[in-house]
Amino acid sequence: MAVLNRKPTAPRRRLRLPDYDYASPGAYFVSICTHQRVCLFGQITDGTLSANPFGKIVEACWLDLPSHYPNAVLDAFVVMPNHVHGILLIERVFQAAHGLGEIIRGFKTFSARRINELRSTTGKPLWQRGYHEHIVRNEAALEEIRDYINTNPLRWAVDRNNPGYVPAIRAGLKPAPTVGMGR
C-alpha cells in the first residue's frame, strides 16, 4: 500500500453558524469563487460581462436549480469573470427540504461537470472549496444585496477578485514603512 506524503494543513475555519438550520426558509446571499480565482467565465466590458461558453453554462446551471430543488427560489444573480453572486430563497415545502449546502454543492457539481467536459479536463477543480454565505435578515438588507449584485460588474475595475486590480494609494498618505528591510 502506497503512503501519500501530504503536508499537514491547518484546520479550516468554520464558516457556517453552528446551530443554524440552513434548510430553514429564508433568503441567503452566496458568493462562489473559481479555483485559484482564475478568470474563466468571460470579460467585463463597459460594466457588462461578455460571457464565454463557460459563463453561459454557469448561468444555465444556476437557472436550472429549481428543477432539481423544489424548495429553491432564485433571486438576483450575476456571473463575474472568476466568481458568482446570487440570492437563493429557500421555501418550506411538504416533501424533504434541501439545505443551502446541498443546493450549492449541486450547482457546483452540475456546472463543473459540464464545463470540464467542454474543456476536456474531467475531474479538474473548477470551484474553490466551500462558498461564502450570508443569511439575509430583513427586506432592507435584501434590497441592498440585490443592488450590490446588480451593480457588481460596474465595480470590476476595483474588485479585489479582479487579477488586474491595483489598490490606489490614498492621496496625501505615504505607504507604510517596510519592516526589516536593511534597517
Mean pLDDT comparison of 14-18, 19-23, 55-59, highest-scoring range: 55-59
Mean pLDDT over each residue of the chain, to the nearest integer: 86
- Rg from Cα positions in the chain: 19
The answer to whether residue 2 scores a pLDDT higher than 60 is no
Count of the separate structural domains present in the chain: 1
- 19 within a domain of the structure (yes/no): no
Q: First and final CA of the chain: distance in angstroms?
A: 53
- 116 within a domain of the structure (yes/no): yes
Any idea how long the chain is?
183
Confidence of residue 24 (pLDDT cuts 50, 70, 90): confident
- 128 within a domain of the structure (yes/no): yes
- 180 within a domain of the structure (yes/no): no
CA distance 122 to 158: 33
CATH assignment of the domain containing 141: 3.30.70.1290
Q: List beta partners, residue 93.
A: none
| Rounded (5°) CA angle 96-102-105 | 155
- 170 within a domain of the structure (yes/no): no
* DSSP H helix total and E strand total for the chain: 4, 6
- 133 within a domain of the structure (yes/no): yes
Mean pLDDT computed over 19-24: 61
pTM, entire model: 0.80
Q: List beta partners, residue 135.
A: 28
Confidence of residue 1 (pLDDT cuts 50, 70, 90): very low
- 181 within a domain of the structure (yes/no): no
Residue range of the domain that includes 113: 26-156
Identify which of 58, 63, 69, 62 has the alpha carbon closest to the alpha carbon of residue 23. 69
The C-alpha cell at 156 is 470590476
- 72 within a domain of the structure (yes/no): yes
